[in-house]
Amino acid sequence: MEIADSADSGLTGSAYTLSALDRRRWNLLDAVTVVAKGSIPCTLFSEVNMGWAEKLREQFAAKNCKLTVTAILLKAIGTAQSRYPLSGGVIMPGGRIATFDDITAGFTVERFVQQKPVLFFGTIKKPNEKSLPQIMTELYAYSQESVDEHPVLKIQEHFSQMPWLVRQLILWVGMRFPQVRQKYIGATFGLTSLGKYGIKTGTGPTICAANFAVGVVEQRLVADKGIAIIQPMMTLSLFFDRRVINEAQAAKLQQEVVSLIEGRLNKCLEDDERLQDSNVHFHTRKSHQRSA
């Protein structure tokens, strides 16, 4: 409905459009206004050398297997979080922190429903224990299966159509009982990828205690052992909840993730997944971090 104000109302030449907020956006708004409410966010940035990851993707491509940066990231972050389990904790009433035994990756899924863009939240359980092809299979299902056929997307679609009061009640219970939180809001870390839009990185609300954002992989001039060379680089940001982990703990988690992406993850892969190129240098440097 378009409304143009006239001179009689005291406004001349102004026009605007009023429209109802798409109900499917309420899932995202609920996550921000309810789940992330009260969090104390902080963001760290690191530059990641993607040389090893790009070579691994080329090796998979030679076998006619697609491997995305997202799959590598989910495996790396899940592996890092297994070593720093507190980063997957959630604040409960009374100042308690619930730490779940199983790691669950959370990530954004962009789909079109009734010709409108909709943002869903995907989850993959135990990415640290799964092979890269298994992670790719689950990612493919999120992108290709219809919303009504995918169990996770179907639940979120139904949840978005519930009355506001019912949704708030479900979230209220989930925020107070760990077993309900784990079942319906079970991600222990979050990942948002903005690379396909040409964005370098991002930050946002701390829906999980540890949330990562990545941007485009691009060729940059870097120094390697005193020599300036061109390398595929990516900026990784970690925005975390200070109530659960402090800056030092977050920095250690991020350094672990960077180290894995730069080559140490090779040791965590199955024999038929590992990069066989002996000429690839596995970086072991500590990442340069900035805090915001």
pLDDT in tens, 84-132: 999 999 888 888 898 888 999 999 898 888 888 888 999 999 999 999 9
**Predicted local distance difference test score (pLDDT) of residue 287:** 44
Q: What angle do CA 235, 89, 78 make, to 5 degrees?
A: 45
Domains within the chain, CATH numbers bracketed: 23-291 (3.30.559.10)
**Predicted local distance difference test score (pLDDT) of residue 28:** 84
H/E run at residue 113: strand 104-113
Q: How confident is the model at residue 216 (pLDDT cuts 50, 70, 90)?
A: very high
**Predicted local distance difference test score (pLDDT) of residue 46:** 94
Give the amino acid at 30.
Answer: D
Give the residue-averaged pLDDT of 279-286: 52
Q: What is the pTM of this model?
A: 0.86
pLDDT in tens, 169-203: 888 888 888 888 777 778 999 999 888 788 888 88
**Predicted local distance difference test score (pLDDT) of residue 292:** 58
What are the CA-CA distances from residue 203 to residues 240, 243, 260, 290, 291 (Å)? 10, 18, 21, 13, 12
Question: What are the start-end ranges of the E strands in 143-285?
Answer: 189-193, 210-214, 218-224, 227-241
Task: Please write down the long-range contacts of 204-208, taking CB distance under 8 Å and 24 or more positions apart.
Answer: 204/239, 205/31, 205/32, 205/36, 205/39, 205/41, 205/239, 206/36, 206/39, 206/41, 206/239, 206/240, 206/241, 207/31, 207/32, 207/35, 207/36, 207/106, 208/88, 208/90, 208/106, 208/241
